[in-house]
Structure 1
Amino acid sequence: MNFYKKTKNVVKTAGVFGLLTILIIAARTPEDKLPAGDPDNGGLAIPDGFQALVVADSTGQARHITVRDNGDIYIKLRYFGKGQGGGTVAMRDTTGDGKADIIQNFGTYKDQSSLANGIIIHNGYLYYSSSLVVYRSKLIPGQLLPEEKYETILTDDHEHGTHWHITKPMAFDNQGNMYVPFGAPSDACQDMVNSPGGKPGSPGITPCPDLEKHGGIWKFNADKLDQTQKDGTLFATGLRSILGLRWNTNDQNLYAVVHGRDNLHRLFPEQFSSWQSAVLPAEEFVKVTQGTNLGWPYYYFDQMKGKKMLNPEYGGDGKKEGEGTKYQNPIIGFPGHWAPNDLFFYTGDQFPARYKNGAFIAFHGSTNRAPYPQAGYFVCFVPWVNGKFSEKWEVFADGFAGMDPLINVSDAKARPMGLAQGPDGSLYITDSRKGKVWRVMFKGNKKNFGTTQLAAMEKHKLNSNIRTPDEINDNLDKETKVAGQRIYNTYCTPCHQRNGLGDGSRFPPLVNSEWVTEDKRRLIQVVANGLQGEIKVLGKPYNDLMPKHDFIPPGEMAQLLTFVRQQFGNMPDRISEDDIKRVLKK
């Protein structure tokens, strides 16, 4: 073979090899570049073909999350600082294994109130909020942390005191508008001045004055600085409490998941059983347009009847519909108290085609389903079918609670909170207990994904955290014989839980609390008269509302507080009916 022919053959061989290499590279799917999932999928139960890995653990009480187009992750913490250096967390993976190896706290803004929630990237800015203020910081190309300088976009300048449902999640349309909910301060517009938290039989106010500044969504200019509510316009009303709010670019509409009211049995025991109070009213997934009215505080949605029902504060008894048909029904009514805390529309291509444009909803989980097991604690999926969202939903990720049944919220290993999509189409989920972050990826065969995988996840609807409880068999009090414990389970477990440990954030523990073990006169006064403002329990600050319980007869209150002191404080002495009467002068 002469030199020319030899060279020609080498070139020809190299060309074939090069072409083959190009074809192999071209044939690789995006899934080939995804990191490996954890062997146990980070403890999650997800459909076959999906894998999950824990990106980071113990970042703090993580709330909402957003992911930058380079893969950097930003998480809003529930509390500012707490020795962590700031109320927001930035994370970056520099090795490609999917695990965050750079984790930095930042954010030294002036408002350090708790219940911080929203965070989202919009037009090159990182928008984030505390309870009362929406801020933004400019993102710097290539740099993990945004500019140290921040701008104030919106301030909630109302006088709140201890005010419920004041977190400020945000959504942005493509016309330069920002949407922010202002939550309502009560179950159903009761008189919160003379009867904090309401007491049995308290009527609602008509017309409800709260609707002037609360219980709705307001629209603002996304770029204007130093706005207050008067700078915005009312977009929708009759919405009690919203943490999950998103603009859907697919149909150019706003959507929300709405928390229903609480305390049906506690406030109206003759009209509503403890079972009804555990499963009602619905948590609502709704399409929100200009002028939407869901009917709060006058009506709630009963997912079992599929109707708006009249609230008991306005004469309802669980059977009266009143003029409920005047108000908009949700796309889906989920069982009560599941706490839908985030909503996300999937626009990526990594997952099978059936997930495209569908909605993921993170259910943070109930605290107040006693005497039935707590429920929620999972992520569901709602498909987008023929130009709208399906009325049927699926279990997408379960296993966060780590046990079944879950009796106390403090027993849950994790509580799903925030949702976000990465640039490669991965789904990110945060946990509010310790701050775990999961990344869910699809590694299976998209063509074969369907009935079999979905049927396996459908079985999770039989778990006690998802199914509707049996009124008799699932009642945790059916064998309770101690009178004081029954009273405690009725009035106190929604906040302090059956084990007395609270929920770890809003509601303080009773176990070994100085408020339980020390001055019993103070304990009596707190239970009878309620409590507002910041207090410290075992060295940790709490700032929520303790409603009055002066409607409990002295004899029953004595049984209740004796149980509390003996069960959670190891105090052998009893509180007598005479003690109650002396303190309250009854």
Structure 2
Amino acid sequence: MNKQLLHHSRFYEQITISVFVGLMLIVLSSCQFNKNPQLPPGAPNDGELDLPVGFEAVVVADSVGPARHLVVNENGDIYVKLKRAYETGGIAALRDTSGDGKADIIKTFSLDQTHGNYETGMEIHDGYLYYSTQLYVFRYPLNPDELVPDTTRRDTIVIDDHEHGHHEHIGKPLSFDNEGNLFTAYGAPSDACQEQNRIPGSPGKDPCLILDNHAGIWKFRADQFNQVQQESLNRDANPDVAPTGIRFASGLRSIVAMDWNPVDNELYIVQHGRDNLHSMWPQLFTAWDNAVLPAEEFGRVTEGSNFGWPYCFYDQFRERKVLAPEYGGNGDEVGRCSEFDNPLVGFPGHFAPNDLKFYQGDQFPEYYRNGAFIAFHGSTIRNPYPQAGYFVAFIPYQNGEFSKDWDVFANGFTGVDPVVNTNDSEHRPVGLAVGPDGSLYISDSVDGKIWRVMFKGERSAFGEEQLANMKVIKETASNIRYPDKEGDDLQKEVPVAGQEVYELYCAACHQRNGEGVAGRFPPIKGSTKIQDRDSLVTVILAGQNTPDYEIQMPPHDFLDDEEIAGLASYILQEFGSEGDSITSDEVNKLRESILSMD
């Protein structure tokens, strides 16, 4: 070969080798630092979220409707529970066909209105999409080639066939173990099992018979049809039902956040603590106590577990369960509560935990491996202090146990600081799901915004420096930190006549601005009930059950005539049309009229 040609050949061979080595270094660097080119770009300002350094978020969908739980299939399709099926559709199915992380196909299905509100509860298990309504657990077979499942092939797995009274705490979350069992919760239609529900000073029923078929977790077979909760309930009316469920755990007032942990093969929950310590027992608990107690409990649940509701609640400051005031407790006494299960972590009260997901993905740094994400939906009853929650927390799993020192993982949902009224928050995180690539998905119950959170930093370098910004948020954000007893009191000024009664007994539900909480408590601002003096006083005295709202208003006839007169006058002038004050004589006449009809 010509020397010149040989020289050129070797020269090009060296260039080829150099280019190849360079490309390999780029690939290896990309693998080492997890800068995954397949992840879509994040949204400007990460969709308004605050995240640890190295994380980005893309907005998958902006307004699918009031979303609850969600799941992500192996092919990346997303299924979102939509509350109020009669308005927006039961389930939204989302698909991204362009790879930009945003859903360009959105369809709704399961529009059957005869089985109750869709509420919470949805999981993918063994190729089926399982979902619950208030009174049923259904499933559809999934076909990865089809976004919407064949709705003609619906199986009924569980039938809730007994009376619940009003629909408080009736949503049914779902989890599955590795042995073909399905777990779901039956919430308590009560705050504290009082003899007179939500009436100040009313003692608790002892024993609390609600525990027979509520306030616990039941286990069913995942592949059997038409199962009911207990053998004795309505068996004659349902002769073809399959074998019944098994009560797995008790003493759990309200469970929405629940997940099976594959690391230790155990069930975990985060339960909503009870409410109204101050308004029911003002001589024992201050408004500040009411704002931060009792704890929201993250715990492991094994067969036979009993977490003590309604007899006890967990005090995260004392790190123990204490006797509830309905059962003779004073905020410090333990009594029978030493017999019940304690949580692993006690979060501040009324954060409202609505979903729990363990992380086994490979995308996030090792710090997140096997840890627990919790979506806190946000409080309604912290008045007169700012409402709290409205963020996603993370509990690290280290050295074979969960840390008590939890992190803030995602914040910024509220758009305001402080949150004075629940409806002031722009978004409220409620559902969590881990996608096949390890991304974390978060749903919002206000407009139905869906975020996909991704890690694009250096996995090997992730540590305290990347978490520093979230630690500052945990210590300073009013929706997360403990409120200052004086500085954060939104009712510091001396209230006008009637306002103090409203703040104590009404603002927790109807909110300080009178606008209520969507789906839970009706608004009084602008209501026709407050335009008529007699109607307003009658509702205060006798209570009211408002359709389409979960919580029934109890009678407030325990207030004296002067207190009701001041309260009604304040409501009229603050939220209705201005007019003359209502007198105690007017209240007394209406009270006597109501009594004569009983």
Per the normalisation by structure 1, the TM-score is: 0.94
Structure 1 counterpart of 2:389, from 368, 371, 376: 376
The CA distance in 2 between the partners of 1:334 and 1:233, in whole Å, is 29
Q: For residues 455-476 of structure 1, what are the alpha-carbon distances to aligned partners after superposition, in whole Å with 9 as ceiling and x for unaligned?
A: 2211112221111112222211
CA contact (8 A) 1:558 1:575 kept: yes
Question: In the alignment, is residue 100 of structure 1 matched against residue 91 of structure 2?
Answer: no
SS at match of 1:494: helix
The corresponding residue for 1:569 is 576
Q: Secondary structure at the match of 1:223?
A: coil
How many residues are paired up? Answer: 573
Identity %: 51
Q: Which amino acid aligns with 1:577?
A: S
Report matched runs for 1:100-249 at 5 Å: 100-114=103-117, 116-149=119-152, 150-191=154-195, 195=196, 197-230=197-230, 231-249=244-262
What does residue 561 of structure 2 align with? Answer: 554
Aligned residue number for residue 76 of structure 1? 81
Structure 1 counterpart of 2:420, from 397, 400, 407: 407
Helix, strand or coil for the counterpart of 1:379? strand
1:489 maps to amino acid: E
Deviation at 1:115, TM superposition (A): 5.7
Deviation larger for 125-134 or 5-14: 5-14
User: 2:270 maps to what in 1?
Assistant: 257
Query: Does the Cα contact within 8 Å between 1:239 and 1:258 map onto a contact in 2?
Result: yes
- For the Cα contact (< 8 Å) 1:161–1:533, is it kept in 2? no
Q: CA deviation at 1:307?
A: 1.0
CA distance in 2, matches of 1:503, 1:76: 19
Q: Structure 1 residue 478 and structure 2 residue 482: aligned?
A: no
Give the Cα separation in 1 of the matches to 2:5 and 2:225.
74
CA-CA distance at 1:14 after TM superposition: 9.3
Three-state SS of the structure 1 residue aligned to 2:465 is helix
TM-score by length of 2: 0.92
Measured in 2, the distance between the counterparts of 1:276 and 1:480 equals 20
- Residue by residue over 1:550-580, the C-alpha shift from the partner in whole angstroms, topping out at 9 and shown as x without a partner, is 1111111111111111111123232221221
Question: Comparing 31-40 with 358-367, which one deviates more in the overlay?
Answer: 31-40
The Cα shift of 1:288 comes to 0.3
- Choose from 336, 347, 351 the match for 1:323: 336
1:317-466 maps to which residues of 2 (within 5 A)? Answer: 317-461=330-474, 462-466=476-480
Paired residues of 2:115 and 2:136 also in contact (CA < 8 A): no
For 2:345 and 2:311, the matched residues in 1 are separated by: 20
Q: 1:452 and 1:18, CA in 2 relative to 1: closer, same or farther beyond 3 A?
A: closer
Mapped partners of 2:147, 2:86: distance in 1: 19
C-alpha separation between the residues in 1 aligned to 2:340 and 2:350? 21
Provide structure 1 residue ranges, at least 5 long, that are not aligned to the other structure.
535-540
CA deviation string 1:219-242 (max 9, x = no partner): 000111111102100111111100
Q: Please give the alpha-carbon distance, in whole angstroms, between the structure 2 residues aligned to 1:26 and 1:385.
A: 28
Q: Displacement of 1:124 after TM fit?
A: 0.4
Amino acid paired to 2:158: L
Q: Deviations over 1:293-320 (max 9, x none)?
A: 1111100000011111000000011121
**Residue 544 (structure 1) shift:** 2.9
Pairwise CA distance, 1:5? 6.8
Q: Would the aligned equivalents of 1:184 and 1:241 in 2 still touch at CA under 8 Å?
A: yes
Identify which range, 13-22 or 565-574, moves more after superposition: 13-22
How far residue 532 of structure 1 moved from its aligned partner, in angstroms, is 2.5
What letter is aligned with 2:569?
A: T
Q: Distance in 1 between matches of 2:208 and 2:15?
A: 80
Bigger drift between 451-460 and 26-35 goes to 26-35
The partner residue of 1:293 within 276, 300, 306 is: 306
Give the whole-Å Cα distance in 1 for the aligned partners of 2:490 and 2:16.
74
Opposite residue 412 of structure 1, the aligned amino acid is: S
Q: Partner residue of 1:537?
A: none
Aligned-partner residue type, residue 548 of structure 1? P
Once the two structures are TM-superposed, the CA of residue 522 in structure 1 deviates from its matched residue by: 2.3
Provide the rounded CA distance (Å) in 2 between the counterparts of 1:141 and 1:34: 21
Tell me the SS of whatever aligns to 2:270.
Answer: strand
Is the Cα contact below 8 Å between 2:92 and 2:107 reproduced in 1?
yes
State the match for 1:37 in structure 2.
42
Partners of 2:363 and 2:436 lie apart in 1 by 10
Secondary structure of residue in 2 paired with 1:181: strand
Secondary structure at the counterpart of residue 306 of structure 2: coil
The residue type equivalent to 1:106 in the other structure is F
Q: State the distance in 2 between where 1:114 and 1:573 align.
A: 42
Q: Distance in 2 between matches of 1:50 and 1:184?
A: 39
Cα deviations across residues 176-204 of structure 1 (Å, max 9, x unaligned)? Answer: 0000111111122113xxx3x33111111
Q: Which residue of 1 aligns with 2:233?
A: none
In the alignment, structure 2 segments of 5+ residues that lack a partner are 231-243
Distance (whole Å) between structure 1 residues aligned to residue 498 and residue 40 of structure 2: 54
Please state how far the C-alpha of 1:547 moved relative to its aligned partner. Answer: 1.5
Letter in 2 for 1:160: H
Shift of 1:521: 2.1
Match of 2:290 in 1: 277
Post-superposition Cα deviations, 1:531-551, rounded to whole Å, max 9, x if no partner, equal 2252xxxxxx43531122111
Structure 1: 4+ residue segments shifted above 6 A: 2-11
Deviations 1:98-124, CA, capped at 9 Å, x for gaps: 111111111133535236111110000
How far did 1:69 drift? 0.8
Q: Which residue number corresponds to residue 66 of structure 1?
A: 71
Question: How far, CA to CA, are the matches of 2:550 and 2:391 in structure 1?
Answer: 27
Deviation digits for residues 140-195 of structure 1 (CA, Å, limit 9, x no counterpart): 1211111112111111111123131110000000100000111111122113xxx3
- The 1:250/1:521 distance shift into structure 2, 3 A limit, reads same
Letter in 1 for 2:249: A
Whole-Å Cα distance in 2 between the matches of residues 559 and 322 of structure 1? 40
2-structure distance, mates of 1:508, 1:235: 35
Q: For residue 81 of structure 1, report the CA deviation from its aligned partner.
A: 3.5
Contact residue 111 and residue 130 of structure 1 kept, 8 A? no
Query: What is the rounded CA distance, in whole Å, between the counterparts of 1:533 and 1:51 in structure 2?
Result: 42
SS class of match (1:370): coil
Q: Deviations over 1:381-400 (max 9, x none)?
A: 00011112111101111111
Structure 2 distance, partners of 1:438, 1:386, is 31
Q: Which residue of 2 aligns with 1:538?
A: none
Whole-Å Cα distance in 1 between the matches of residues 395 and 143 of structure 2?
35
For the 8 Å contact 1:47–1:396, the answer to whether it is kept is yes
Cα distance in 1 for partners of 2:562, 2:513 equals 23
* 1:23 Cα offset (Å): 6.2
Report the 3-state secondary structure (helix = DSSP H, G, I; strand = E; otherwise coil) of the residue aligned with 1:319. coil
One-letter identity of the residue aligned with 2:120: N
Counterpart-to-counterpart distance in 1, 2:176 and 2:11 = 59
* C-alpha distance in structure 1 between counterparts of 2:455 and 2:577, whole Å: 51
- Given candidates 535, 545, 549, the residue that maps to 1:522 is 535
- CA separation in 2, counterparts of 1:210 and 1:579? 39
C-alpha RMSD of matched pairs (Å): 2.0
CA distance in 2, matches of 1:383, 1:416: 20
Q: For 1:170, give the aligned amino acid.
A: L
Q: Contact between 2:115 and 2:135, CA under 8 Å: does it hold in 1?
A: no
CA positional deviation for 1:54:
1.0
Alignment-mate amino acid for residue 68 of structure 1: N
Alpha-carbon shift at residue 19 of structure 1 (Å): 7.1
